[in-house]
Structure 1
């Protein structure tokens, strides 16, 4: 009962903050409401599940604050029927929301522990249109065709060119880009034919992308 109350209060406070930023997309907010964030954070952080602060998770990683997660999804503009690639499954919270918005989601992650935890949470929520894979995210997902949306939450040292081949025309990429040693910005690329329109959005606190899959975690 207490957990349900915290969920309602946390979500209501989040919606107020998001509306102040101009984020009012009903489909997106409904998907967030249907995805209890406290189920994705470590138990000791349950009371802070809907805060704007980053929360530590397994394997030395973190999940972005609730405000930033929804803000990024708002910029990604996922629609019904879309096929989405996510680079960096993490806790699986954003993955679950993508599953509610899109037709199909493939999410890749270098840590098998995070994959296993996210899979369990997705199954508990009966989200069945998401595929999780332990993979190196440096090259996206070659050999799986093209995607309407590609979303990354690990920062690339330079904007990866291979995404040009993995996006449909009219598709969109949202990915963090390192611009200084400890500073990265979120970049949105929209593909039109063979050309890209780039938009630098805002600074984000994501960690640099690590190559290869983790062997022990």
Structure 2
């Protein structure tokens, strides 16, 4: 019951922001957030609060998670790359919207946990890997959409080669004043058009695979 009530409250908040995409909201409804949050944070599963998870990482509040997916505009048949698997919640929602999702994280603990949750939901089109995502995933072909949840210090133009023409990437950018801004980069030919979206609470991307966790 708490799951249904939490989702209903989330939908009301999202609608007030102008987010009413039925495919997206259905995908969120079919992905129970309580499966992805630590047991101690169960009552915050659908709140806008940031939730700490293993390895010093965190889950975005439910509102921000869906807002990002709304701006990514994922469509059926697309390939999506996600840098920063975390709990696996966003990966699971993406898996209901896209043809194939490749999601990577530098922490083995997070990769294993996310894989287990995706298996419980029988999400066969989401591939989880432990990898260093600072340069994306060269060698994996091109993607229609890329979502990054660790901040860059400058616009990551090298990602352009990993996007199809007409593709789109959403990533956080650290500004000189120390704030972090989510930006949407749309690829036209070999150029990126940048659109500033809204402030976000992300930390800078860390290179290399984590050895211990």
Q: Normalising by the residue count of structure 1, what TM-score does the alignment of the two structures yield?
A: 0.97
Q: Deviations over 1:73-102 (max 9, x none)?
A: 000000000000000000000000000000
Structure 2 Cα separation of the partners of residues 213 and 170 of structure 1: 31
* Aligned partner (choices 189, 193, 201) of residue 193 of structure 1: 189
Given the alignment of the two structures, is residue 179 of structure 1 paired with residue 162 of structure 2, yes or no?
no
Aligned length: 213
Q: Deviations over 1:132-191 (max 9, x none)?
A: 111111110000110000000010111112111000000000000000363110010111
Q: Find the counterpart in structure 1 of residue 94 from structure 2.
A: 98
Structure 1 Cα separation of the partners of residues 152 and 85 of structure 2: 16
Q: Find the counterpart in structure 2 of residue 86 from structure 1.
A: 82
Structure 2 Cα separation of the partners of residues 207 and 63 of structure 1: 12
The alignment partner of 1:115 has SS state of: helix
The alignment partner of 2:138 has SS state of: coil
Q: Deviations over 1:20-64 (max 9, x none)?
A: 000000000000000000110000100110000100000011000
Q: Find the counterpart in structure 2 of residue 13 from structure 1.
A: 9
Q: Find the counterpart in structure 1 of residue 143 from structure 2.
A: 147
The alignment partner of 2:157 has SS state of: coil
Q: Find the counterpart in structure 1 of residue 202 from structure 2.
A: 206
Q: Find the counterpart in structure 1 of residue 156 from structure 2.
A: 160
The alignment partner of 2:46 has SS state of: coil
Q: Find the counterpart in structure 1 of residue 55 from structure 2.
A: 59
The alignment partner of 2:34 has SS state of: helix
Q: Find the counterpart in structure 2 of residue 72 from structure 1.
A: 68
Structure 2 Cα separation of the partners of residues 37 and 66 of structure 1: 8
The alignment partner of 2:182 has SS state of: strand
Contact 2:184–2:194 at 8 Å: present in 1 too?
A: yes
What 5-or-longer segments of structure 1 have no aligned partner? none
TM-align CA RMSD: 0.7
The alignment partner of 2:94 has SS state of: helix
